[in-house]
Structure 1
């Protein structure tokens, strides 16, 4: 089908048409033309949306879909529908499944389940068998099956020697290791950020040191072995400083920050609402400022929703017993646009492709269609009726929002909300 996106403003800081209001002609999964007042083919489907912006398709580096094994929390089909309606054309799927995605068969299964969907998936293979941290998983076999990177979801590698071996091994096929960083001994039985809020509420604290010490260790190992690591969901000012210093020394390290940590602080814990129980925990306003600065100076490479659906029985319990995690796809754009500049958000929502060795999404004639459509003007709040996920554990419920997602176009798929 021939489609023309009429009078859309391109947001693509690295592209040739940045800030231009143009028409975009799409046909057979390719961009045919970009320009003002394009001649419209007679059979064209014209999409004209007021005040619409278009950017390269958004890319999320951390999404949990549950299936196989945790379908009560989310299914692949509904999760991908949620991602598409939230503006994401591609997502990296965590190996938080049952069985754990630690072999080529599960990677193949995930790809098969996602066939024909508007949003594409890139499975992350588990770094260790069963994500148990005892022995490396079948990394090369998973890479051949389509795994984009390797990591144990929300688990740090206790065994420094095993982590060193992993970094050395994946260099043979240019693999990248995800190094979630939290010292479990320092975390202990903590459930929230260690600080005045935790003390006042009588909740056990997790010191920032638990993250920072592990970040430092992983960076030392990277310096020793070479190779590449990606540190997901930094949350403290000191962690940002450690990565900034490592980049200045030339280490091949990238990192992300979760939307919730850019929007919320541990002040919201006053309600004892388990929606705010996250890993890493919500930190202080000073930490949040450091995360914003890390985005601005490119210490932090990308923003992730860190979307993690949790079944209701995992959240409707006492705070200490609740599971960590929040859904984040649906609320990402509106919440980010309320606190950060548009160009910076788009840059950080599209940077993941380059990090993980994928071709860029380009808005130019001849390029494959990979676009996100959105607005920026409307203000409001994120409400429960906007949730499309099976699970409803949304930390950003009630948060101010700006703008909305209009839809996506990828290859021959077109989704308009």
Structure 2
């Protein structure tokens, strides 16, 4: 297959063609030419879109699909199609299933289910057996089978010694440990950010302290043990400051933030819409602004959708009873494109996550394997249910104004385009 991409603005800070408009010729999955103009031939497949921009393929490091066990929420097959049409050539899939991904065979199951897909799937295996936080899972065996990191999805490790031992043990094979930032004793039965809005609405609060205390503990342990620690989906200004100070000390710590925590605040809760019930909870406008600055300054390493499909039976219920989580693959680019510089966005969803999770980096250069996302950064639209490709429809960005349109991807010698 020969694919010709016409008049595309290249966004790739590592490339000599950065911010230049070029034609790109791909043959058998490899970039053969990048020139001002390449004449098409009859057997070429053309990609010719309005205001076409391209970058290295996007990588989302926090995605849940449900399968195995929760196929009614999302299957791996459909989830990967959604990811491709949302601009992602790679996703890291959480151990958010039943049973959880905590064995060599379950890691291999995920990888085999994704075989032949345009979007690459990388498993994040559970850190503890059955994600119960009691004993460490077989980390080395799972890494040998293809797991790229280890963490219990949305479940903090309360046992200090277990986290210490995990950080020490993983150093034997360069493993990356994820620690969800939440102190359960402090959070209690809270369901919303503790503050003015939770008080007005009569919702039990989760103080920012619950997140910050857990992060402080993990950073103390990391300083003692060494190793590599990744803190997923931080949500408060103080969390950002703690991680910034740890990086200044030279600790090997990285962190991510979700799109909804960068943009949406707990002001959204006044309608008691369960699509805004997330974990961590939506915080204050001040936190949102601080996190945006954290991305721009480089303290925050990764942006993620934290895509978590929840079926209607567990979302269309009373706010206090609804399951936490929002989908986010389809809306991520359009949501963030209005608050972040395009180059900052691309860096935090291409090169940085690949480096942190040990995935081979990609580049838009002659001779490189084509791994490319297609998009238009300027088209404005309203995100409606018609734009949701996921099986579950629990989006916090429903009916929000977005800026930017995703056209598709080229990956694994497959061209996937939206209609």
TM-score (norm 2): 0.98
Partner of 1:11: 11
Alpha-carbon RMSD across the aligned residues, in angstroms, is 0.8
- The answer to whether the Cα contact below 8 Å between 2:335 and 2:403 also exists between their aligned partners in 1 is yes
Partner of 1:344: 344
Unaligned runs of 5+ in 1: none
- The answer to whether the Cα contact below 8 Å between 2:8 and 2:53 also exists between their aligned partners in 1 is yes
- The answer to whether the Cα contact below 8 Å between 2:119 and 2:412 also exists between their aligned partners in 1 is no
CA deviations over 1:288-346 (Å, ceiling 9, x no partner)? 11101110110000100000001111111111111100000011111111222211111
1:285 aligns with 2:310: no
CA deviations over 1:84-122 (Å, ceiling 9, x no partner)? 000000000000111110001001100111011111100
Partner of 1:402: 403
CA deviations over 1:343-397 (Å, ceiling 9, x no partner)? 1111111121011111111100111110000001211211110001010110111
Partner of 1:371: 372
Q: Provide the C-alpha distance between the structure 2 equivalents of 1:134 and 1:49, rounded to a whole number of angstroms.
A: 52
Q: Provide the C-alpha distance between the structure 1 equivalents of 2:380 and 2:50, rounded to a whole number of angstroms.
A: 15
Of 32-41 and 106-115, deviating more is: 32-41
Partner of 2:299: 299
Partner of 2:218: 218
Partner of 2:335: 335
- The answer to whether the Cα contact below 8 Å between 1:30 and 1:411 also exists between their aligned partners in 2 is no
Partner of 2:248: 248
- The answer to whether the Cα contact below 8 Å between 2:14 and 2:363 also exists between their aligned partners in 1 is no
Q: Provide the C-alpha distance between the structure 1 equivalents of 2:283 and 2:50, rounded to a whole number of angstroms.
A: 38
Q: What secondary structure does 1:83 align onto? A: helix
- The answer to whether the Cα contact below 8 Å between 1:62 and 1:305 also exists between their aligned partners in 2 is yes
**What number of residue pairs does the alignment pair up?**
417
Q: What secondary structure does 2:377 align onto? A: coil
TM-score (norm 1): 0.99
- The answer to whether the Cα contact below 8 Å between 1:87 and 1:406 also exists between their aligned partners in 2 is yes
Q: What secondary structure does 1:91 align onto? A: strand
- The answer to whether the Cα contact below 8 Å between 1:193 and 1:205 also exists between their aligned partners in 2 is yes
CA deviations over 1:47-88 (Å, ceiling 9, x no partner)? 211210000000000000100000011000110010000000
Q: What secondary structure does 2:291 align onto? A: helix
CA deviations over 1:125-165 (Å, ceiling 9, x no partner)? 10000000000001001000000000000011000101000
- The answer to whether the Cα contact below 8 Å between 1:338 and 1:400 also exists between their aligned partners in 2 is no
Unaligned runs of 5+ in 2: none
* Structure 2 counterparts to residues 3-82 of structure 1, below 5 A: 3-82=3-82
- The answer to whether the Cα contact below 8 Å between 2:77 and 2:113 also exists between their aligned partners in 1 is yes
1:393 aligns with 2:394: yes
